[in-house]
Each structure stands twice: as C-alpha cells, then as structure tokens.
DNA sequence: TCCGATATTAGGACTAGGTACTAAAAAACA
DNA sequence: TGTTTTTTAGTACCTAGTCCTAATATCGGA
C-alpha cells in the first residue's frame, strides 16, 4: 500500500513520535519502501537516528532533581524547586482536562497538580498524602495556565505540612493544605543541617 | 592510581549507576586500565553495554510518560447510582496508578475517583467541586480494587455536601467530604456525565 | 508518446560501541 | 620458583547507522 511521499513522511513522523524505538529497517517494512528511502525521509524531516532518539529520551529522564517523585510523575511542569522549602509548577489546561459541557477544568486535575507538587517538594525517599483540606476558589477555563506554589509550612517527625496555592494570572483558583507522611523520620530532635 | 580489582569494580558500578551514559573507553581512562578490562568487569558485574543502558532508561521514561496522561480517562466504573442520593464506583489500581518507587497508589487517583463520583451523583447539568476535606487513611497497593461509596448528606440551593468513603475489602482507605456547587438550572433525565 | 524532473533503490566505504573469542604478557601468591 | 589470576592485545563480527555515488523507476507536462 504505497502512497505519496508526502503522506508517507507525515505518517513516518507520527510513527516515530509515538515509538521512538523503531529502526529504519522496521519502518521500511511498515511503509513498503527501502531502508534508503526511510533515511532520505528522516533527513528531510530532520529526524535523528534511533540511537540519538533513545538517548534524548533517556537524558530527559535523567534530569531528575526531585527525590521523592520522578519528575515525569508530577502533574504539570516543575519550574523551580528548593527541596523541603518550596516548589512551583505550571499546568496548562487543555481540552482533555475540562468538562465538555462548560469548558471548566475538572477539579481532580487541579488537585493532582497540587498534590504531586506537595509530594515532589519533600526531600525524602517516599512521601504520601495523609490529609488534605482543599478549596476550589474559582473555576478554571480551558487554555488557562495554572501556576501552583507549594510551601513547606512545618515538619515534624515523619509528617510535613505543605501549603499549595494555585493561580491563573493573579486570581487564586485553588488552595490546599496537605499533611504529608514521609518515609524516614531522619530527624529526632535536631538534625544536622547538611541537607545531603 | 590503580587499586585492587574489587575496589575498581565497586567504583565502576557506582560510576555507571550515576551516569549510565559513560562509554567503556571513558571508563578505561578514568580507571587507568584497558578497555578490555572494563569489559571483563562489566561482564562479571552483569552490567549491560552503553546502548542497552540508555535504552533501559529511555523505556522507563516512556512508561512514565504514558502513565501520567490517562488520568483523564477512566476514574472508576460506576456500578450503582441513585441520583441525588448515593453512588458506588469501583477502581482497580494498576501499575500506571502507583508510584514506581514503592507501588503505592498516588493520592490523586483516589481523589479523582471520589471526586468524579461526587460529581456524578449530583442530578444536575453542572457540578463543580468547591471545597473538600479528605483523608487518606491507608496506603493502597497495586492490584487493589477500591470501592468508593458516595452519599449525599444535604443539599441546599446551589450547594450539595457529598460524603465519599473508599475501601479496599473491609479497610477504609480514603474519606472525603466534598462541597459541590451545582447549576441552578436543573435539567433532569440525563444521568451520564460521570465526571470523567 | 517522449523528455526531463523527481523519487527510489542499490551498493560501497566508514563509524561507534560494542560482543565473543584467543592468546600472550604481567602481576600476585604461596 | 612455579602457578594462578589479572590484564592487555588483537581479531572477526554485529547493529544501526552516516555519507556518497550511481543506476533505475515513476510521474507530470508538452
């Protein structure tokens, strides 16, 4: 089923995007063309070779400042973090996050952003949410950029209180106080402040 | 600075763990031994070659990436509902819902199940979460089936209090009180819009 | 229908970063 | 000292490419 060059290249791009681990050989079979054609296509589309693609994906994964939560497991993008102190993440509200009927973001996405930021800010192997008191102060519409700011309020043996405020522009849309359990209560009394 | 084989291998292991992108060539220089020695060491320690290591890291990343997306898809199946009274949903905790590190369900999934059930139980065109007070009483492991039960506590004009309790077997794992805003225009008859 | 442009395929030489293997030299030890 | 372990060297081969040249196929227009 060979189609035009243009169509093949479009499909090629999509295929590789979905599965960066595919070889030229496999693509050639998939599109019933020669390996050389695939390579020409890749060049025209400036798609790097398999190993470079894999490396890129792997490198993205390694930029892991966050201890208690791999960065990809955070909802929203962390733009700043000071472990055990504060963190900021942004989350762009897209079509898939809103109620189709009114275009308002479903609450659990805002919660997820805030909650995962609360987990991320904790400088520990493990952190779990114990309690939370939250408030959705204003509806958030599709297309909005929600900025969540987490602040560690206090920390006692195995428990940390994190406050998260989320805003769109200057409007507060969400606030929550999270009581987080943490894995190793490294501190008994006064702990050494080395941080590492 | 060449030391014993044992020490070199220990340091080798650590070095590769910290930076999986290092080649045998570079390691050979670092430890002032030949490339072949590094290869023997890797074999003895069963450390795969650079490309395999990179691939592994990249694959882990891909899994996590698709993992943080499907939150908007299914947040439990509603198995019973009596509009404006009560509802029950079940949610099977799978690999994609847990922290890779410890296999415990991420809080926002339990919240999402509860929250969307709270939305669903309301017999109205539109329902938004205003406030919530929630408590994660026990960690939920991968493979668990969480049953959430929502109960409408009271309902005033434009405001409804819904209580949701989630359990695994006989153990309560989550409780939340949701204060929901509802649209005044009560258009009845349609019961779908589950909040997913 | 033929012509020229574009697209595709084939092949060779070379690359990185290896595996798998053999063989020899060096170091450690008893 | 002799033996065992460790290290090094070198060869052939692999994958998944790059870069380049050259031949063939296919398509659109006069």
Instruction: For chain A, count helices (H), then strands (E).
Output: 5, 6
SS3 of A97, please? helix
* Residues shown for chain A: 196
Q: Higher confidence at residue B51 or residue B193?
A: B51
| Distance of residue B42 Cα from the nearest chain A Cα, in angstroms | 21
Q: Where are the alpha helices (DSSP H) in chain B?
A: 5-18, 24-31, 35-44, 50-67, 107-121
Interface check B23 vs A, CB under 8 A: no
Cβ contacts below 8 Å, chain A against chain B, sum to 138
- Within 10 Å of residue B129's Cβ, how many Cβ atoms? 26
Closest CA relative to residue B142, chosen from B92, B85, B77, B195: B92
pLDDT band for position B102 (50/70/90)?
Answer: confident
The pLDDT > 70 percentage for chain B reads: 83
Task: Supply the pLDDT for residue A108.
Answer: 86
Q: Higher confidence at residue B29 or residue A69?
A: B29
Architecture of A5-61 per CATH? Orthogonal Bundle (1.10)
pLDDT band for position B164 (50/70/90)?
Answer: very high
**Nearest nt (C1') to B33 (CA)?**
D7
Q: What DSSP line would sit under B95-148, residue for residue?
A: GGGB-TTT-BBPHHHHHHHHHHHHHHHS-SS-EEEEEEEEEE-S--BTT-EEEE
Query: Do the bridges between strand A145-156 and strand A86-92 make them parallel or antiparallel, or are there none, so unpaired?
Result: antiparallel
Per-residue pLDDT of chain A (196 residues; tens, 9 = 90+): 456 888 999 999 999 988 999 999 999 999 999 999 999 999 999 999 999 999 988 887 665 334 444 544 567 777 778 888 888 888 988 887 887 667 888 888 899 899 989 988 887 767 888 889 999 998 999 999 999 999 999 988 778 999 999 999 889 999 999 999 886 533 333 333 332 2
Give mean pLDDT, residues B114-135. Answer: 83
Which of A72, A112, A116 is closest, CB to CB, to B61?
A72
With CB atoms and an 8 Å threshold, state whether B58 touches A21.
yes
Domains B5-67 and B73-182 share a fold: no
pLDDT band for position B186 (50/70/90)?
Answer: very low
With CB atoms and an 8 Å threshold, state whether A55 touches B58.
yes
Distance, first Cα to last Cα, chain A:
59
Which of A62, A119, A132 is closest, CB to CB, to B134?
A132
Domain residue extents for chain B: 5-67, 73-182
With CB atoms and an 8 Å threshold, state whether B125 touches A101.
yes
Location of structure tokens 């049953």 = B147
Task: Supply the pLDDT for residue A59.
Answer: 81
Which of B55, B129, B139 is closest, CB to CB, to A107?
B129
Angle between helices A24-31 and A5-18 (to 10 degrees): 130
The sign of the torsion formed by the CA atoms of B31, B32, B33, B35 equals: positive
Topology of domain A68-182, CATH: Thiol Ester Dehydrase; Chain A (3.10.129)
Å between CA of B159 and C1' of C3: 79
**Rounded distance, CA A51 to CA A172, Å?**
45
Asked if strand C contacts A36 at the CB level, meaning under 7 A, the answer is yes
- The b/e string for B28-56 (b: 16+ C-beta within 10 A; e otherwise) is beebebeeebbeebbeeeebeebeebbbe
Interface check A75 vs B, CB under 8 A: yes
Asked if strand D contacts A48 at the CB level, meaning under 7 A, the answer is yes
Q: What is the pLDDT of residues B57-72, one digit of tens each?
A: 888 767 544 333 333 3
With CB atoms and an 8 Å threshold, state whether B102 touches A58.
no
**Rounded distance, CA B124 to CA B126, Å?**
5
**Rounded distance, CA A37 to CA A44, Å?**
11
Architecture of B5-67 per CATH? Orthogonal Bundle (1.10)
- Residue of chain B whose alpha carbon sits nearest to that of A138: B130
Say which residues have a Cβ less than 8 Å from residue B52's Cβ, sequence separation at least 6.
none
With CB atoms and an 8 Å threshold, state whether B108 touches A108.
yes
Task: Supply the pLDDT for residue B90.
Answer: 87
Asked if strand D contacts A19 at the CB level, meaning under 7 A, the answer is no
Task: Supply the pLDDT for residue A184.
Answer: 53
Angle between helices A35-44 and A24-31 (to 10 degrees): 100
Topology of domain B73-182, CATH: Thiol Ester Dehydrase; Chain A (3.10.129)
- Dig out the tokens for B138 from the structure: 């026990």
**Alpha-carbon torsion angle A35, A38, A39, A40, nearest 10:** 120
Interface check B2 vs A, CB under 8 A: no
Can you list the positions of beta strands (E) in chain A?
77-82, 86-92, 127-136, 145-156, 159-168, 171-182
List of chain A residues whose C-beta atoms are within 8 Å of the C-beta of residue B71: 75, 108-109, 112
Say which residues have a Cβ less than 8 Å from residue B56's Cβ, sequence separation at least 6.
B20, B48
């Amino acid at each position: 089923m060979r189609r035009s060059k243009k169509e093949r290249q479009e499909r090629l791009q999509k295929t590789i995007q979905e599965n960066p681990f595919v070889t030229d050989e496999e693509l050639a079979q998939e599109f019933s063309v020669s390996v050389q054609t695939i390579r020409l296509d890749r060049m025209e589309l400036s798609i790097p070779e398999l190993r470079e693609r894999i490396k890129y994906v792997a490198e993205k994964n390694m930029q892991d400042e966050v201890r208690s939560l791999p960065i990809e497991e955070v909802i929203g993008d962390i733009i700043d973090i000071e472990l055990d102190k504060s963190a900021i993440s942004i989350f762009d509200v897209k079509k898939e996050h809103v109620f189709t009927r009114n275009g308002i973001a479903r609450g659990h996405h805002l919660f997820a952003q805030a909650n995962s930021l609360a987990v991320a800010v904790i400088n520990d192997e493990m952190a779990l949410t114990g309690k939370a008191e939250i408030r959705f102060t204003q509806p958030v519409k599709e297309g909005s950029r929600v900025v969540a700011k987490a602040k560690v309020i206090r920390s006692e043996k195995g428990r940390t209180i994190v406050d998260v405020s989320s805003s769109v522009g200057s409007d507060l849309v969400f606030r929550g106080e999270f009581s987080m359990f943490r894995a190793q209560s490294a501190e008994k009394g006064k702990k050494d402040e080395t941080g590492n």
